[in-house]
Structure 1
Amino acid sequence: MKDIFQPFVKLLTLMVGLLVSITLLTALVIGIVILISTGGNLPLIGEKPSTGTVSTTTVVADVYRGVVPKEGMWVAPAWNTVNNEPNAEDIKYGRDLIANTSEYLGPNGKVKKISNGMNCQNCHLNAGTAPLGNNYSAVASTYPKVRARSGQSEDIPKRINDCFERSLNGKALDVNSKEMIAMVAYMEWLGKDIPKGESPKGVGIYEVPFLERAADPIKGKTVYAQQCQSCHMEDGQGMMKPDKTGYIYPPLWGDNSYNDGAGLFRMSRFAGYVKTNMPLGATFERPLLTDEQSWDVAAYINSMPRPKKDITKDWPDISKKPIDHPFGPFSDEFTEEQHKFGPFKPIKEARVSASK
């Protein structure tokens, strides 16, 4: 009986020995890899990691932390109440124009052909209703007003035409047209509950904290490749609808994008816009980009070719130009490059000092 089991005992012993050898060899390989990756400096037990490194956990927590508490955030009026308004048809047409501008007023527009193919809601998300998505909540309550860019008092139609001539790189719309009346009606309806002179929480674009360095287009190109080009394409030209009436995803540079007189050509505006809204799925409650990524991708996109606009009459009082307005002359000694890419803190500090 002993002779019968002896071969099995030898085989089992051989297998155990082989398993032990493989385990030891694996441990040796792992040790060598760790040694090489740390440059020969293995951390001691209990030793804290270098302060020059940032853990993945910390980065994720910083990205996903909401930028503004939700409490008190503006919410658009319920759409199912619009039929209660005496000008309901104008309001509904206005919303459609904001959401599908190109269908009516784009290169193949069925009403007029006066814009580049983008829609108003490409910059004013969800037809101008998204919190911190460049919404229209304060349009009715704050216009007319004097704007530093023009140095003049502007009403809502003038502000809308600014967008047509800059963000849509097109021509002004007749202020007495059915389309202008409808868009104004829609914006006034959105802001109907906001007291005159006030702006609700969540209006406009989030202000991303300034970096200690300049925004970097080279780093931004990597962010774009990882986070943006699946929708806006590698060449930045967006994705056209099959019927050619507009874009599913708008172009971010090139002939059919916003021109260099548009608000989003300012680095802070673009960085703030993407911080709380991009890539698809991001919100102010759950941003998907870090502050640095937001600044850098803004630098990359706004470094690419785009249409030019005559802005010689903009900012008649140059001391009121925003810190990140990229074109001189300026009332300070900083260069155009620094006004465009930063670092912006020194410019802000110089202005504060000069005002004392």
Structure 2
Amino acid sequence: MVNSNHPSNQPSLLQTLLYTLLIALFGALGYVSFIQLGPNEVAIDSTQVYVEPDSNFTHLWTAPSDWRMMYLTDSQKELVEYGRELIAHTSEYLGPKGTVKAISNGMNCQNCHLNAGTQPWGNNYFAVQSTYPKFRARSGTIEDQVKRVNDCFERSLNGQSLAVESKEMQAILAYIKWLGTDVEKGVVPKGSGIFKLKGLKRAIDPAKGAEVYAAKCQSCHQADGGGLLAENGKSYTYPPLWGPHSYNHGAGLYRMSNFAGYVKYNMPLGANYDKPQLSDEEAWDLAAYVNSMPRPAKDLSKDWPDIAGKPFDHPFGPFADPFTEEQHKYGPYKPIKEWIAKHKKSKK
């Protein structure tokens, strides 16, 4: 019979410690395996592969905080705040029933430049002050901020230009300058303007876009694309996307690439760059549908004096390349881009 009290049969201190650690380890594993998760908790899947976040949507530039206006003079602050008000509620002041002037179509600047021009990848103004004046191929001239603002009034708002010396123009310029606070000259901060989507291999399809519009857009912008007029009759709760009160075909959003990138990361209501609701194909096809519908025309005869500078999706000839207006409008765009790239290189 074995004497259990004999010293040789007693576990050593090291063995005791090892046994204790093993028991604790298995106990912990068992606890993790059988612990009941709360209603908002998710079990960790050890087989799940970590996906690196898209750097295009991280560390984006943001507008300066309002508290920083304390460093402005009273008159500067007043002008900046009026400028923001004009961008957010343009039609209240400058629309068909505006209190200052009637020079635009009833849309607000922020219908295209979201959150008064501060939404990342929402056609914001972050890079305007830092990059203007600059040469623009569309006009073939050096353009300043005044030209940039009046282009919006004449194209996106299908209206008339603002006088440079007017309080409204000076306020808008002050607000744009304010949004460019801390942006170095010549720098385009990440998240500025509109995100450029990768093109499709096929032509974009207005018929498919009509299906997307019916499912995800017309509840706000209405089946006829005419938008929803606010109760005061001065502006739109949801702006018109086509028809007599929408942007004309000289506007930036009439280019398919701009419209597709804009709606992909901002529409329908509630979507943003962090939580998009449309696929790339849906965004492109939606652009094809909306921009195939009737809208106001604009004399574009002075645009693109050097026709070789026309972008791939500018749909009005003549062109330096051999492609049709139809292909410039709906694609496929890759052959056009390749032709443009090849012939630009050959000029060097």
Q: Which of 65, 72, 84 is the matching residue for 1:85?
A: 72
Structure 2 residue 229 is the aligned partner of structure 1 residue 250: no
- CA gap 1:162/1:66 in 2 versus in 1, 3 angstroms: farther
Structure 2 residue 130 is the aligned partner of structure 1 residue 112: no
Match of 1:74 in 2: 61
Structure 2 residue 148 is the aligned partner of structure 1 residue 162: no
SS of aligned partner of 2:234: coil
In structure 2, C-alpha distance between the alignment counterparts of 1:300 and 1:186, rounded to whole Å: 34
In structure 2, C-alpha distance between the alignment counterparts of 1:177 and 1:214, rounded to whole Å: 45
> Would you say the 8 A contact 2:56–2:190 is kept in 1?
no
> Would you say the 8 A contact 1:103–1:246 is kept in 2?
yes
Which stretch shifts more, 248-257 or 79-88?
79-88
SS of aligned partner of 1:280: coil
- CA gap 1:69/1:97 in 2 versus in 1, 3 angstroms: same
Match of 2:223 in 1: 234
Match of 1:131 in 2: 120
SS of aligned partner of 1:146: strand
* 1:272-311, Cα deviation, whole Å (9 max, x unpaired): 0001100011111111100000000100000000000000
> Would you say the 8 A contact 1:69–1:285 is kept in 2?
no
- CA gap 1:290/1:239 in 2 versus in 1, 3 angstroms: same
In structure 2, C-alpha distance between the alignment counterparts of 1:67 and 1:224, rounded to whole Å: 27
In structure 2, C-alpha distance between the alignment counterparts of 1:254 and 1:83, rounded to whole Å: 43
Amino acid at match of 2:245: N
Structure 2 residue 190 is the aligned partner of structure 1 residue 201: yes
Match of 1:321 in 2: 310
In structure 2, C-alpha distance between the alignment counterparts of 1:101 and 1:68, rounded to whole Å: 34
Match of 2:248 in 1: 259
> Would you say the 8 A contact 2:80–2:172 is kept in 1?
yes
In structure 1, C-alpha distance between the alignment counterparts of 2:56 and 2:146, rounded to whole Å: 33
Q: Cα distance, 1:83 vs. partner?
A: 3.6
% same residue? 62
Q: Cα distance, 1:66 vs. partner?
A: 7.6
Structure 2 residue 290 is the aligned partner of structure 1 residue 281: no
* 1:237-279, Cα deviation, whole Å (9 max, x unpaired): 0011101110000000000000000010000000000011000
Provide the aligned C-alpha RMSD in A: 1.2
Q: Cα distance, 1:70 vs. partner?
A: 3.6
- CA gap 1:323/1:249 in 2 versus in 1, 3 angstroms: same
SS of aligned partner of 1:287: coil
User: TM-score if structure 1 supplies the norm length?
Assistant: 0.80
Q: Cα distance, 1:353 vs. partner?
A: 2.2
> Would you say the 8 A contact 1:66–1:286 is kept in 2?
no
> Would you say the 8 A contact 1:156–1:184 is kept in 2?
yes
> Would you say the 8 A contact 1:67–1:285 is kept in 2?
no
Match of 2:290 in 1: 301
Q: State the aligned residue count.
A: 292
In structure 2, C-alpha distance between the alignment counterparts of 1:81 and 1:104, rounded to whole Å: 27
- CA gap 1:68/1:225 in 2 versus in 1, 3 angstroms: farther
* 1:75-107, Cα deviation, whole Å (9 max, x unpaired): 100023224312000000000000000000000
Q: Which of 161, 165, 177 is the matching residue for 2:166?
A: 177
Structure 2 residue 269 is the aligned partner of structure 1 residue 269: no
Structure 1: 4+ residue segments shifted above 3 A: 65-70
